[in-house]
Amino acid sequence: MTDLSQFDPNAVGNPNNNIFSLPFPEEDARLVILPVPWEVTVSYTAGTARAPEHIFNASLQVDLFDSDYRDAWKQGYYLKPCDKKVLMKSDYLRKEAELYINYIAQGEIVSENKFMCKTLKEINEGSNFLNAWVYDQTKELLQQGKLVALLGGDHSTPLGFYKAIAEKYEQFGILHIDAHCDLRKCYEGFKYSHASVMYNALEEIPQLKKLVQVGIRDFCDEEFEYMEKCGERIVTYLDKDIKERQYEGDNWKVIADEIISKLPQHVYISFDIDGLDPKLCPHTGTPVQGGFETEQIFYLFKRLIQSGRQLIGFDLVEVGVSHSEWDENVGARCLFKLCNILTAANS
C-alpha cells in the first residue's frame, strides 16, 4: 500500500502526483477513474473531450478535507491517462459530424448524398468502437475489484460502463441528474448520440430496472411519449415541478427522500453537469436555464447513502472547458465529492 507518512494533504498541489495531487499508483487505488475524451455527437458546443485534462489541472486546487466523508481519499483515487488514440478519433469524427449536422440542418436529404451517407456510417461505427472500448476498460477494472468511475466527454460515453455494471449486478437503477432526458432515438441519425444514452441503456440493458431522472427541463414530444410507454421503469422529476413544490411548501429533504424511494438497492449515479444552474457550468455542451446548486445535489447523494442503498459507480460528463477555468473548477469539486461518496459508501 502507498505510504502516506510523507504526504502532506495541506501542501500545495503537486502536478507530478495524480488527480487531486494524490500520490497513489493505480494498483494501490481503491477507486480508478477512466477518462473518456469523446464528443463526436454533441449537437451544440464542443470542448468536453478535453475536460479530463482540464479537470486534472483544476483538481490540484481542491482541498482534501471533506467534513461529510473525512479521509475517504486515503483509500486512494487514481485517474488513468487519457488515451490519445481515442481523443484523435474523436477529433476526426467530430469534424465529420459538424459537416453532417450542418448539412441536415439545411433540410438536405442524407440518402441523396453519398459523402454524407459515408460520414454517417463512419460516425456510427466510431460510436460502436467507443462503446466497446469503454466496456472493456471498465469491465477489467471491475474484475480487479476496483471501484470505478467514468469522466467524460459527452454523455454518450458511459454506455459501455453501464453494460459492464450489468454483468456484475442482476439489477440496478440509475439516478440521472440532467437538464435533458437523453431519451431520443437515433438523434440526428446518430444511433449512439449523447442525446440517446438513456434510451439506448433502457433498450439494451434489461438489468437496468429503474431510471430516475432529476432536474429535467428540456425535452421533446418523442421523449415524453417514450417515458409514458416505459411506465414505472422511468420516473422523471422535472425542474419546474421540483421548484413549484418548493414554492408551495415542500422542503428539499422531503423531495430528495421521495426521489430516492423510487430507486432499487443498487444505484449508479449519472451526473451530467448541465443539471446544475448554468452559472456553475456555462461552457457545458447544451446549457439550459434553471437547475440546481451543487449543495442540493450533494445533499441528494448524501441522503441516497443514508438510505442504505449501495452505490455501485458513477459518471461525470459534459464538463466544458473555458479560459477562466470556472467550469473545470466546479467539475473538479463535483468529481471529488462523488469519489468520496462512492468510496465511503463501499468502505
Q: Which is it for strands 234-238 and 172-177: parallel, antiparallel or unpaired?
A: unpaired
Rounded Cα–Cα distance for residues 75 and 301 (Å): 20
Q: Which is it for strands 310-317 and 172-177: parallel, antiparallel or unpaired?
A: unpaired
Check: CB of residue 327 under 8 Å from CB of residue 321. Answer: yes
Per-residue pLDDT of the chain (347 residues; tens, 9 = 90+): 899 999 999 999 999 999 999 999 999 999 999 999 999 999 888 899 999 999 999 999 999 999 999 999 999 999 999 999 999 999 999 999 999 999 999 999 999 999 999 999 999 999 999 999 999 999 999 999 999 999 999 999 999 999 999 999 999 999 999 999 999 999 999 999 999 999 999 999 999 999 999 999 999 999 999 999 999 999 999 999 999 999 999 999 999 999 999 999 999 999 999 999 999 999 999 999 999 999 999 999 999 999 999 999 999 999 999 888 999 999 999 999 999 999 999 98
CATH number of 19-345: 3.40.800.10
| pLDDT tens readout for residues 277-335 | 999 999 999 999 999 999 999 999 999 999 999 999 999 999 999 888 999 999 999 99
Buried b / exposed e over 224-241, threshold 16 CB at 10 Å, is eebbeeeeeebbbbbbee
Q: Which three cell numbers stand for residue 74?
A: 486515503
Check: CB of residue 210 under 8 Å from CB of residue 235. Answer: yes
Q: Which three cell numbers stand for residue 255?
A: 423531495
Which residues, 6+ apart, have CB-to-CB distance to 55 below 8 Å?
151, 319, 328, 331, 332, 335
Amino acid, single-letter form, for residue 36: V
Reading phi first (left if > 0) and then psi (alpha if -120 to 50, else beta), residue 265 is in: alpha
Place of cell 456553475: 280
